[in-house]
Structure 1
């Protein structure tokens, strides 16, 4: 009897313990769900739907602003104009002889288009007509907060910039144009070319994103930009990190790509022999100062950076299809006589990729292997003894290669 009583007590004890564990798990799950819902409510994207995050353009137009001492003067490059679009205002610069070879330059994820100012000036010196614009959320371009910064938005922005020109860049008799893309802009350019090769005379990619292997992305960066966090929470966390700097050398020595690398690797040291003139009207303008001002003053910059990291043409797993589409086009072009290729659009021998041999983001050997694999070996490679920032420091050499490409068999 005692034994039976003891067993009954033990069974009741186990039952109560199990119930307590069950209640504990239910309570923990409820708390976790509540916290998750609160976070999503606090940092959801609903507050940003339908909004355009304005650039600092209005503040710069104040009569109290000293343009001469500003890190990014409104007329930092010639031919400035602000183009009103359904996505917000776009800052465009265009100059050079109207009958010159047309070159459109697309900058990277962090810098305004002034980073390619040296290349643009050097191309105009060689008789080209150039156009640059600030990507949405950079420089003096607004940022649409309710749209992902992906291939579709970037292609739309390119057409909006081209359509604002007083001369034809794409119509009959325009002669088409050469597309030059740097870093994120390289991924944008490759994607654009894969859909619209008939508009191009040449494609030049400077340390292009789009083929970065996932194995080089740190776990933390993959987690942050995988889509698991609410957009506003991710923007808040990334904003704190981006504003913390540093915005200067030394360059990253990481074996894995981190968020901060995207911010710093496009920025030249601006010391010694690397000090270059990107704006001839304002020779003291530097990329680090312009980026620091942009991070702290552009309401849309952090959002644009985060959205580009999450949706933009950066990783190979996301962009390989575009590169393969471009490769199939080049393969078909190569079967045609050279004069017919030119009539069709982008010739198979006019795809140039430039890379810095010490670049810690775009790895030289991997880029050449992956680009050849997707583009069918229809690529001409040029290498610089420099890092990811070489378009801002070796711009005269870059411009010469572009010019030679446009002149050969013109």
Structure 2
């Protein structure tokens, strides 16, 4: 993801087409064609959903881990940040670091398959362009729910597996019902005790679900 980790930090709108282009270029670069199992986590879930809806012929099955884009109401602060270019920019830089650290701290005592994951996450705040990139995503790929994309995926008959954390306070458990409303064919699993960091706090449980469900999905 541009703006995160060691990637470049371009000053551009990180909307769906931005990520579609990035993913197409990556697939072309590594020589991957069709019949792809596409897995997306959190915002990556929104990206994967959007890409799958636009490129159904390339995707064999779609896996979503606590995906964004699920009609989760935004608070007043987020709405101001999204809609007010100047005030929103200032609020993002003033408020987001504290909220980000709070979210990392909430998972401090959970086991993790990634050593020092909390330190790695909070270190992002010291990288110039990180907050700007998150803001661009909030105003882009994360600005609206993905009802239309999920409905198209259901109509196309693309197999979907969604995995949720029961204690996730970012993408709440109510989203299970939302996805069922949008795509009745989606297979859904809930991991007890898992929060939003389920890929690294409950890695074995996620892998167990993938092993058991992906074969079944591919056979549909």
What TM-score, normalized by structure 1, do the two folds share?
0.49
- Is 1:187 aligned to 2:40, yes or no? no
8 Å CA contact retained: 2:113, 2:203: no
Q: 2:186 aligns with which of 369, 373, 379?
A: 379
Alignment match, 2:107? 269
Aligned residues: 217
Deviation at 1:235, TM superposition (A): 3.0
8 Å CA contact retained: 1:268, 1:392: no
Alignment match, 1:243? 97
**SS of the residue aligned with 2:85?**
coil
C-alpha spacing 1:405/1:170, structure 2 compared with 1 (3 Å): farther
- Is 1:306 aligned to 2:132, yes or no? no
Quick one: distance in 1 between partners of 2:57 and 2:16? 18
Quick one: distance in 2 between partners of 1:268 and 1:287? 12
- Is 1:320 aligned to 2:147, yes or no? yes
Deviation at 1:389, TM superposition (A): 1.6
For residues 125-204 of structure 1, the aligned pairs below 5 Å read: 135-145=1-11, 147-165=12-30, 168-170=31-33, 176-204=35-63
Quick one: distance in 2 between partners of 1:162 and 1:268? 35
Which has the higher Rg, Structure 1 or Structure 2? 1
8 Å CA contact retained: 1:242, 1:295: no
**SS of the residue aligned with 1:238?**
helix
**SS of the residue aligned with 1:181?**
strand
Alignment match, 1:219? 76
The C-alpha deviation readout for 1:282-325, integer Å capped at 9, x for no partner, is: xxx3222112211112x221111111111123532xx3222222
Consecutive aligned runs of 4 or more in structure 1 exceeding 6 Å deviation: none
C-alpha spacing 1:141/1:218, structure 2 compared with 1 (3 Å): same
List gaps (5 residues or longer) in structure 2.
none
Deviation at 1:268, TM superposition (A): 6.5
- Is 1:395 aligned to 2:203, yes or no? yes
Query: Relative contact order (C-alpha < 8 Å, sep 6+): which is higher?
Result: 2
Alignment match, 1:361? 170
The C-alpha deviation readout for 1:138-192, integer Å capped at 9, x for no partner, is: 00111220x2111100111111222222xx3215xxxx22111111111111111
Alignment match, 1:292? 122
Deviation at 1:393, TM superposition (A): 0.6
What TM-score, normalized by structure 2, do the two folds share?
0.88
Quick one: distance in 2 between partners of 1:136 and 1:234? 21
For residues 40-59 of structure 1, the aligned pairs below 5 Å read: none
Comparing 352-361 and 398-407, the one that deviates more:
398-407
**SS of the residue aligned with 1:322?**
helix
8 Å CA contact retained: 1:205, 1:354: yes
